[in-house]
A = this chain, B = another copy of it.
Amino acid sequence: MCAIASEPSEASAVRRREGPLPEKPLFTVELVIFTIRADRLHVLLVERADQPRKGWWALPGGVLDLRRDDSIEACALRKLAEEAGVHPPYLEQLKTYGSRDRDPRGWTATTVYFALMASERVQLGGNQAAGWVAVQGDRVGLDLALDHARILADAVERLRSKLEYSHIAVHLLPEEFTLPELQRTYEIILQQPLDKSSFRRRVAQASMLEEIPGKLRDGSGRPAQLHRFRDYDRRTFFPRSISRHAR
């Protein structure tokens, strides 16, 4: 039994005992953090402080630290805490991108996670410039470093397809929200209007929300009932696709 050596000298010793160790790709973790602001889907981007593509806008993330990170997901959570100061209500592994030529440093592998959260919860407190950028279609109005535009497009597609049959949009809202706000969130992401009656029937059937006796008042019109997500851990799925048959 042999363990990965933590010092280069030990690694060389292992290499002599067991033959040449394989060269490894540089391994990084990146994050696609979505939120809703001002009726638009936004993604968190940072200005790269290091090479490669220093100064370009990019997805937050960085190199895995074998000493601090027990797992890839732990690394993603650490970077989320560093970049956004939060433990996100929803985190899911998206995909791993790895090739010889996606990064000028050479062979890299990057596991990408995507997170959903209410923008109010985020503390942009990193040491680098960071900000929310509106998503239009499946892209952003900036040139992104490396293959990050492609990664973002994949993440947006995954978000949309998951919204068709799951409840995960609630994680984009604060803990208390109204049904019209939730419906609006779906409409923003799916980019199409939804029927109010059908939407509420669907949400009610999933029985994933509970009413809060208080009320929310708007600038005009009848106040809307506040709701809370019933069980943050339970996975609720809609029995049918939401928007595939929409007008």
A interface, CB within 8 angstroms of B: 1-4, 6, 8, 12, 15, 22-27, 51-52, 63-67, 69-72, 74, 93, 95-101, 104-107, 109, 111, 165, 239-241, 244-245
Contacts and interface: CB of A to CB of B under 8 A. Distances in A.
A132 to B, nearest CB: 27
Nearest to A65: B22
Nearest to A15: B8
Question: How often does this chain occur in the complex, in copies?
Answer: 2
Contacts of A101: 70
B72 A107 contact: no
A70 B3 contact: no
Query: A3, A23, A64, A240 — which one has the most chain B CB atoms within 10 A of its CB?
Result: A23
A104 B65 contact: no
B22 A24 contact: no
A171 B73 CA distance: 32
Contacts of A65: 22
Given A23-B66, A241-B240, A244-B239, A2 B98 contact: no
